[in-house]
Structure 1
Amino acid sequence: MIPAIQSHGSKNNFIIIDEKDIPFQTSDLLRESWTKILCEDTQTDGILFISDSLSAQAKMRVFNSDGSEASMCGNGLRCAARYIAERDQLDSFQVETMKAHLRVEQVDELYGDIPTYSVEISPILFNLDSLPLRLEEKSELVLEPVPEWEKDCLFTALAVPNPHIITNVPVDLINSDHQEKLASSFNHNNQWFSDGVNVSYVVELDEGEFFVRTFERGVGFTNACGTAMSSSSLVQVLAGKWEPGVPINIFNDGGRVKCVIHKQNDHYDHIDLIGNATFTHHMKLKLTDTGEAYLQSITETGEDHLYEKMAEASRDYLKKKAPALNIR
């Protein structure tokens, strides 16, 4: 039996598997197969595979529910950070991800006694080749219209390093099927995105408060996407709606987080994503070297009720601030 933990960051659900507990050599084909099976069986968004690193405290790899690998996941990194912190008895350290070594640390609770972690989101890349996105005669897309997508919206493209398209919209547009149609077209054969892209629509609630909904590449609509919330926060700074260095409140269908944009001179250095890391279940798995995966047992931790209190408070707040907004 292999121990595992079911967890969530902002209701973005993951299974954490420590590869040191697997008694045979793993491979990407096995990870892909296990992920597809277990995510379907448990209705989770992906698997976080934790392994040794030669240059950081540990390494995290993220496999989406469709078996594809993501270069990073902010909500998942918070969950992985908590697992590594408790395993190794540390409060602050670096985690190796596909394209960067990222600083993580346990911080004061966001709400009540919810375990809360701050994780670094970087690098921040605006060059369209980093997504990649092909737009004629453009090397960047920052707060600009793309009439073929939506004539009345200003779009920003960035990679952190996951690729994102961000736009602020009125409530009636985020309530419509426009986002799903646009994002779905970007994640099938199309002329713009050869590798697909995450698409976020943002509604301004109040000064320093925004609601973000994300259609995630390889997943579809999620309760929250950490790198999308971070990217959306940066877009508000670019648009002059908020300031670097000051926490910004981001609400989502799964609850809320805080983000801090760090700027040095004219360069946006990194983003702090601050939110919960909730362990909902302890699991026992059977994984085979032929790609089969079985859930043998699952036991609730009792932690999720704390997060639900915050999520309920967030929903109540959203109903007051934006009563026309449809919360999923």
Structure 2
Amino acid sequence: MDIEILKCHGSGNDFLLIDEISNSYSFSEQERAELAISLCNRNTELGADGILFVSKSESAVAKMRVFNADGSEASMCGNGLRCVARYVCELKGQDKLLIETMKVNLQVEKEEDLFPEIPTYKVEISPVSFKLTDLPLTLPAETLINEKIPTLSEELLFTALAVPNPHLVTLVGADDLESDLQLQLSKDVNGTNSLFPDGVNVSFVKPLEEGHIYVRTFERGVGFTNACGTAMSASALVTCLVGLNKKEEFIEVYNPGGKVRCVVHENEGEYKIDLIGNGTYVYKTIAHVDANNFAQFTVDDKCFYADEDKQYAKLQQHAQEFIQNH
């Protein structure tokens, strides 16, 4: 089985994009999971945080499904959606369209460059829910907004929200970021535990200055990642809830992979977030996969998008310099 692969990334969160619109192949649920486990393995010629399957949709221009490197399916992926937004917009010759995701159809559109010569797309992150049953989080309360979870920490204040995948967000200082606390806590809530039966994405957020934050995320099914789009969106919203930043204004969100820009919108108590950032192509290739054993595959020579890589490296340097100065 020959599969065309486009390696791409949003804020360094990297994916293998597989186009089921232009190509004749399609996959069963088990095959999607097995492909993700095999092709995303970092010890192979490919490797990625996940696979973006792009297919036809009955209710939108295209459909996105996201499978993590461990074979689990994510209900949403903001960084992946930006990559899919670029791919489908270019495929269809449009600058604005709808993409179907697991929970809802979302608006995406080409945006002014976040940084010179960086292909930039704005994607809608919604729906947003603070109901603990939507994560789920097992606590004797309906919501958790800037409160303690004593079994996790006696000092940190957490906010739990689904966007629509589950997130646990806390504001921290430099000492907590430099410690092993986030790793230990994340492993606890993503293993067998009484709080999060399905696991949860855990973000530590460090305020830098007004309108600027740093977010590091332990992503469910992945581990520490360069960036998680829904986590950065959720984190931006949390900083507005606690009064650090303002709704309807740009929030610059820095991460280990670079930076994005978020805008939080509220309408009669309902929230949605604009996530604005890169959709960068790394290379394209063809994977020759053994149809009877997806773990066995070879890869053709890779055709790299060298100019895009060089330009994104400049954005990363800019972001790191800003973080270091704060």
Matching residue's letter, 2:134? S
Counterpart pick for 1:282 among 284, 287, 301:
284
Counterpart pick for 1:190 among 181, 193, 201:
193
Match of 2:178 in 1: 175
Match of 1:111 in 2: 115
TM-score (norm 1): 0.95
Percent of aligned pairs with the same residue?
47
Counterpart pick for 1:244 among 237, 242, 247:
247
Give the Cα–Cα distance (whole angstroms) in 2 for the partners of residues 77 and 146 of structure 1: 32
Counterpart pick for 1:142 among 142, 145, 148:
145
Unmatched 5+ stretches in structure 1:
322-328
CA offset digits 1:185-227 (Å, max 9, x no partner): 1111000011000000000100111000000000000000000
Give the Cα–Cα distance (whole angstroms) in 2 for the partners of residues 21 and 87 of structure 1: 9
Q: Alignment RMSD, CA only?
A: 1.2
Q: How many residues align?
A: 319
Match of 1:5 in 2: 6
Give the Cα–Cα distance (whole angstroms) in 2 for the partners of residues 31 and 125 of structure 1: 28
Q: Which shifted more, 292-301 or 223-232? A: 292-301
Matching residue's letter, 1:119? V
Deviation of 1:25 after TM superposition, in Å, equals: 4.3
Deviation of 1:24 after TM superposition, in Å, equals: 4.4
Q: Which shifted more, 298-307 or 249-258? A: 298-307
Is 1:90 paired with 2:94? yes
Residues 1-328 of structure 1: matches in 2 within 5 Å? 1-20=2-21, 22-40=23-41, 41=44, 42-135=46-139, 137-268=140-271, 270-292=272-294, 293-302=297-306, 303-321=308-326
Match of 1:326 in 2: none
Give the Cα–Cα distance (whole angstroms) in 1 for the partners of residues 226 and 112 of structure 2: 23
Unmatched 5+ stretches in structure 2:
none
Matching residue's letter, 1:30? E
> 3-state SS of the aligned residue for 1:304?
helix
* Residues 63 and 100, structure 2, Cα contact 8 Å, conserved in 1: yes
Give the Cα–Cα distance (whole angstroms) in 1 for the partners of residues 80 and 159 of structure 2: 24
Give the Cα–Cα distance (whole angstroms) in 2 for the partners of residues 261 and 12 of structure 1: 22
Matching residue's letter, 1:36? I
| Aligned structure 1 segments of 4 or more residues deviating by more than 6 angstroms | none
Matching residue's letter, 1:175? E
Matching residue's letter, 2:8? S
